[in-house]
Amino acid sequence: MAALTLFEKLEQIESRYDELTQQLSSPEVLADSARYQKLARTHGELSEIVEKYREWKQIEKHLRGAQQMLIEAEDAEMKQLAHEEERQLLARKEVVERELRRLLLPRDPNDEKNVILEIRAGTGGDEAALFAAELFRMYSRYAESQGWRVEVLESSPSSLGGLKEVVASIQGQKVYSKLKYESGPHRVQRVPATEQQGRIHTSAATVAVLPEADEIDIKIDPKDIRIDTFCSSGPGGQSVNTTYSAVRITHLPTGLVVSQQDEKSQIKNKAKAMRVLRARLYEMEQEKQHQQIAAERRGQIKSGDRSEKIRTYNFPQNRVTDHRIGLTLHQLTDVMDGKLDPFVDALVTHYEAERLKQELVEA
C-alpha cells in the first residue's frame, strides 16, 4: 500500500468522521432514534482510526520542528537534543503507521456477532467428557468476565458428571471477535481420578465457535426442512415427560440434523433448534467461500485449522500451550477458571499481524 494512498484514505475517513460528528448533534438526527443509533455506531467505529491519524499528524508536526532545530542550532548540545528528539519521534511514527495499517485492514463482518459454542468429548471416554465439561465451565467463566450472557441450547451429560456434548449461545459485545480462534481440538494430559497406577492419560474435546446467523444471513425454505417431534429423554434414554416437546429438524439439502429437548415447550425447542441450524448452515457457507479463496490464492491466512490440535492443557505441570503461536503459560488453574485474556489477546494480535503482512505483500 503506497503511503499516498494510505494517507489519502485517512483524510477521507477524518472528513467523514467530522461530518458524522456534526450530524449527530443535528435536531433531525436526534429526533430519529434508529438513524441516530446507526450514525453513532459508524462514528464509534471510525473514532479509533481518526484518533490514531491525528496522533500521526502531531508527530509529523513535532518532527518538522525538531528537524528545523537541527538545521538552526548553533551549539553541539542543542544539536544533540534535537537529534535525540528526532530519533524518538521517528520511532513513534513508525509504530503509529503500523497501527494505522492494522486499523485499516478490512473488518471481519462476523466480529460483532453472537456465537453458537459447541463442545464435544473426543477420544478418551469418560475422561474426555469430564474435560469437555471443564472447557464449558472455562468459557462460561470467561463470558461472565466479559459481561456476556450464556444460554445452554442443548446438552448431553455423561454418567460421571461430564458432558458428551454441549451447545450454547453466547451473547454480548464482539463475542465472535474474541472467541473465533478457539475452534479446534483441545487436548488434556493428566492422571484421571479412576486411574489406579497414577499414569498420565491423554484425551481430547473439540470446540466449534460459529457466528450466530440472522434470518437475513441465512434464509431457510420451509420445504427444505423436516420437523419430527418426540418425547424428551434423560440419561440412559428413559422418557422424562409424556408430551412430544422434543424437536428434531433435518435440513434435507445438506442432511444436517439438529435436535433440541431442553425446554418443556415444543415451540421453544423448535426456535432453539432453528438458531443452531442457521449457525451451522452459515458456517458451511463460509467454509465453502474459504475453500474457493484458498484455491485461488495459496498464500491465504488461516485462522485455526480444526484438523490440528490447537491447545494442550497439561495438569501435572500446570501448563497450557497454544501450538499455533507457540505460547506457553504455567497458569493452568487460572486459565481453567476463565482467565483466557492472555491467549485471546495473543491470538488476535498474531492473526492481525499475519493479515497485515499479507496485505503489504499484495499491495
CATH of the domain at 289: 3.30.160.20
Domain boundary among 274, 298, 322: 298
- 309 lies in some domain: no
Q: State how beta strands 184-190 and 311-314 pair.
A: parallel
Q: Output the pLDDT for position 290.
A: 65
Count of domains for the chain: 3
| Cα(130)–Cα(327) distance, integer angstroms | 25
- 306 lies in some domain: no
Q: pLDDT tens digits, residue range 332-353?
A: 999 999 999 999 999 988 888 8
User: What is the full DSSP assignment across 49-82?
Assistant: HHHHHHHHHHHHHHHHHHHHHHHH--SHHHHHHH
Q: At what angle do helices 76-103 and 3-24 cross, to 10 degrees?
A: 70
Mean pLDDT for the stretch of residues 221-232? 84
Helix (H) or strand (E) holding 46: helix 33-72
Specify whether 159 is located in the same domain as 236.
no
Specify whether 117 is located in the same domain as 204.
yes
Q: pLDDT tens digits, residue range 49-103?
A: 899 999 999 999 999 998 998 888 788 888 898 889 999 999 999 888 888 887 8
| Cα(5)–Cα(14) distance, integer angstroms | 14
Q: pLDDT tens digits, residue range 152-204?
A: 988 889 888 899 999 999 999 889 999 999 999 999 999 887 666 778 889 99
Which range marks the domain in which residue 39 is found? 3-103
Specify whether 128 is located in the same domain as 190.
yes
Specify whether 272 is located in the same domain as 322.
no
Note the pTM of the prediction, 2 decimals. Answer: 0.67
- 152 lies in some domain: yes
| Cα(199)–Cα(10) distance, integer angstroms | 59
Residue tagged 495438569 (cell numbers): 315
Nearest Cα to Cα of residue 135 among 336, 318, 279, 287:
336
Specify whether 234 is located in the same domain as 287.
yes
Specify whether 328 is located in the same domain as 179.
yes
Residue 150, classified by CB atoms within 10 Å of its CB into exposed (0-12), middle (13-18) or buried (19+), is: middle
- 304 lies in some domain: no
- 303 lies in some domain: no
Specify whether 46 is located in the same domain as 187.
no
Specify whether 141 is located in the same domain as 283.
no
Output the domain CATH number for residue 56: 1.20.58
Specify whether 146 is located in the same domain as 20.
no
Domain boundary among 68, 103, 138: 103
- 83 lies in some domain: yes
Confidence label for 288 from pLDDT (cuts 50, 70 and 90) = confident
Residue 296, classified by CB atoms within 10 Å of its CB into exposed (0-12), middle (13-18) or buried (19+), is: exposed
Domain boundary among 88, 103, 118: 103
Three-state DSSP class for residue 123: coil
Say which residues have a Cβ less than 8 Å from residue 341's Cβ, sequence separation at least 6.
none
Amino acid identity, position 240: V
Specify whether 270 is located in the same domain as 343.
no
| Cα(169)–Cα(150) distance, integer angstroms | 6
- 348 lies in some domain: yes
Specify whether 163 is located in the same domain as 191.
yes
More confident residue, 78 or 1: 78
Specify whether 117 is located in the same domain as 187.
yes
Cell numbers found for residue 310? 490447537
Q: Output the pLDDT for position 349.
A: 85
Nearest Cα to Cα of residue 7 among 63, 38, 49:
49
| Phi, psi angle pair for 311, to nearest 5° | -150, 145
